[in-house]
Structure 1
Amino acid sequence: NSVLLECVATGLRSAGLPAAAAQLVPAGDRALVGAMLAAQGLIDVIIPRGGKALVARVAAEARVPVLAHLDGINHVYIDASADPVKAIAIAVNSKLRRTAVCGAMETLLIDRAAPPALQRALIAALADAGCEVRGDATIRALDARAAPATEVSFDTEYLDAIASAAFVDGVEGAIAHIARHGSAHTDAIVAENAATAERFLAAVDSAIVLWNASTQFADGGEFGFGAEIGIATGRLHARGPVALEGLTTYKTLVRGNGQIRP
């Protein structure tokens, strides 16, 4: 962290800005964290980066604005109209490209009306790639390697080679499941039916919603925003991948010539 601070300070100096604008909080001093959370008027925004305990504490105690997300319980919904090749590739990539990133898929939702061969192939592809799939009896019937799901499975961010799976009744069932269990982070639909996909895009209230693309694209750099400091799931100010523009606010400038308001 000290090396990173010096890099930032060097950049500030080269831009003619005060190097002291960047400060390092000593590691392990929890009292200082509490002081920052209460520093109204001194700190414009806090962006917690770390474990769930830290993010939860900031969200609960902060008296200054916060940009944060707590969990990435992300879903991929496979519609009955999905192209099988796309569906399998997107499901596997969304879960296993990097399991510990916040955009990783944690739950696979399968349209009950999808072809049985596709249903089996989805679970088999994940299992073949080293993912433990957890679901109810109908999911486990598709592949003997699937494990039972628990009451909390669909509310769990695994950040590991584990995924929950469930059948839903079409796109409306998927939307309802995500509304109940999702974390408003990133969700995707795989479908060839454009009307179905547009319904999903409009109804799923997440910061990032994708159609026929992996949830692993949940990254500001991938969207052309530049380096990001995180993905915000709140509904005020910046939402989704937050890059430099998301850290700025607005000022309205009015240049008149004597106008008065009647």
Structure 2
Amino acid sequence: MRLQTGSRYDKIGFNQKLKGDGMMESYMQMLAKRSKDASRSAAKLGTADKNRGLLAVADELVAEQQLILDANAKDIEAAKKKGVKQSLIDRLELSERRIADMAEGLRQIAALDDPVGEVLSMKTRPNGLRIGQKRVPLGVVGIIYESRPNVTADAFGLCFKTGNSVILRGGSDAIYSNQAIVHAVKDGLRKEKLNQDLIILVEDTDRKVVNEMMKMHGWIDVLIPRGGAGLIANVVANSTVPVIETGTGNCHIYVDESADIRMAAEIIENAKTQRMGVCNACESLVIHSGILSKAMPEIVKKLKAHNVEIRGDERACTVSKEIIPASEEDWGTEYLDAVISVKTVDSLREAIDHINRYNTGHSESIITKDYANALQFQDEIDAAAVYVNASTRFTDGFEFGFGAEIGISTQKLHARGPMGLNALTTTKYIIFGNGQIRK
């Protein structure tokens, strides 16, 4: 085995170098140590320094726009050669507008209040001790994600503002795009004399590196998977690092018996077709039998204008020849494509039970004029975001005013829904005394 001969590592399986004790250090261990060191420097940064860095990086993304677009074009070309479906290519593709949005997201994060150092409570005990809680950074945040190179900039911005360092392992399908974006981020940090290891991209696309990353307990403080169901399930099942689960999105829209038909059709069209390859797109339509024959033709017309395949139950199929029979599997499928399922129900109770059985805890919506039904739906649907008379496409950190998001958590511990700044902090107790001892 050849060892390191300079500043680069020779790749033989895992890239390795010789540690001081004669043991071999893997590529991933080396990155994790650098990130751990950077996290300690990040925790000391004041708000003004962090905001200065964010604005510099935002400017650099725009300044290096053409380099990023050229790199992205290489990823797009490779995806097309592999026969990747168009809805997933859309997730991968960057444009001047999307790069501008990435930069604007960083500027919005800079404008937000810094949560680090916030004292959440302070109470005085009978013995005179003053005990409080304060927000502090998590430390090293690891993110494993697929496609979507905009995640690279969003993740950096949120982690940096909260005093964390971040290790990013994107998919091989976006490697050139991610390299270009990280280059711009590091240039912005360098110009402001900030630690460039606050963002580290895992450039080795070997899956063995991902497996090792999941075992970096003690070096990585939290791991956040973003991508398809297979990726998320693998990380949750195999990681020894604590995981914040960002789930898949089998999102439903329920059209209640009292719904405004025009509103329902427009919301469903937006939720399904505005971007089909995203986790907050509507994949499943549930409709009350009392409005089925009136509403479905208008909904079908809207969806067919975008070449959406509609798979429905027996009652839905009788309303339109454009609807093909659905299978049981369709009710629980996240298509990420131009396909939607339609389930007919006879009551709000049946709709809620169906959605809670098949949803993934992401985003659900009801279209109704009945206030009581709206409240019952919001109370009883088990999901991170529950809407009344609005598209599920709004479940997004940018739309929620977070500037960006680290992911959309579908679990119930620590964070749920779009994860902004607060979700990337933890707390510690701070205690003030004046000589107390325990008897």
Q: TM-score, normalised by structure 1?
A: 0.92
What residue is the counterpart of 1:85 in the other structure?
A: 262
2:209 partner SS: helix
What residue is the counterpart of 1:45 in the other structure?
A: 222
CA distance in 1, matches of 2:327, 2:292: 26
What residue is the counterpart of 2:316 in the other structure?
A: 139
Amino acid at match of 1:96: T
Q: What is the deviation of 1:126?
A: 2.1
Alpha-carbon contact 1:75-1:182 (below 8 Å) kept = yes
What residue is the counterpart of 2:250 in the other structure?
A: 73
For 2:406, which of 229, 235, 239 is the aligned residue?
229
For 1:57, which of 216, 220, 234 is the aligned residue?
234
What residue is the counterpart of 1:167 in the other structure?
A: 344
2:226 partner SS: coil
Counterparts in 2 of 1:129-208, with a 5 A limit? 129-208=306-385
Alpha-carbon spacing, 1:261–1:110, altered in 2? closer, same or farther (3 Å): farther
Amino acid at match of 2:330: S
CA distance in 2, matches of 1:258, 1:113: 72
Q: What is the deviation of 1:36?
A: 1.3
Q: What is the deviation of 1:83?
A: 1.3
What residue is the counterpart of 2:418 in the other structure?
A: 241
CA distance in 2, matches of 1:157, 1:166: 15
1:76 partner SS: strand
Q: Within the alignment, does 1:4 sit opposite 2:181 as a pair?
A: yes
Return 5+ residue gaps in structure 2 as ranges.
Answer: 1-177
Alpha-carbon spacing, 1:186–1:241, altered in 2? closer, same or farther (3 Å): same
Between the aligned residues of both structures, percent identity stands at 42
What residue is the counterpart of 2:296 in the other structure?
A: 119
CA distance in 1, matches of 2:373, 2:345: 14
1:8 partner SS: helix
Alpha-carbon contact 1:56-1:70 (below 8 Å) kept = no
Alpha-carbon spacing, 1:222–1:85, altered in 2? closer, same or farther (3 Å): same
**CA deviation vs aligned residue, 1:192-220 (integer Å, no higher than 9, x gap):** 11111011111111111111100111111
**CA deviation vs aligned residue, 1:7-40 (integer Å, no higher than 9, x gap):** 3334444666422232221232222211111111
CA distance in 2, matches of 1:130, 1:70: 27
CA distance in 1, matches of 2:375, 2:180: 46
Return 5+ residue gaps in structure 1 as ranges.
Answer: none
What residue is the counterpart of 2:82 in the other structure?
A: none
Alpha-carbon spacing, 1:228–1:15, altered in 2? closer, same or farther (3 Å): farther
CA distance in 1, matches of 2:307, 2:381: 29
1:133 partner SS: strand
Alpha-carbon contact 2:215-2:241 (below 8 Å) kept = yes
What residue is the counterpart of 2:34 in the other structure?
A: none
Bigger shift: residues 71-80 or 28-37: 28-37
1:124 partner SS: helix
Higher strand share: 2
CA distance in 1, matches of 2:371, 2:435: 53
Alpha-carbon contact 2:362-2:385 (below 8 Å) kept = yes
- Residues matched between the structures, number: 262
For 2:196, which of 19, 28, 33 is the aligned residue?
19
2:220 partner SS: coil
C-alpha RMSD of the superposition: 2.0
Amino acid at match of 2:313: D
What residue is the counterpart of 2:103 in the other structure?
A: none
Bigger shift: residues 229-238 or 109-118: 109-118
Q: What is the deviation of 1:91?
A: 1.1
Alpha-carbon spacing, 1:235–1:31, altered in 2? closer, same or farther (3 Å): same
CA distance in 2, matches of 1:14, 1:39: 31
**CA deviation vs aligned residue, 1:74-103 (integer Å, no higher than 9, x gap):** 000011111122111111111111111111
Q: What is the deviation of 1:257?
A: 4.1
Q: What is the deviation of 1:160?
A: 1.1
CA distance in 1, matches of 2:189, 2:413: 29
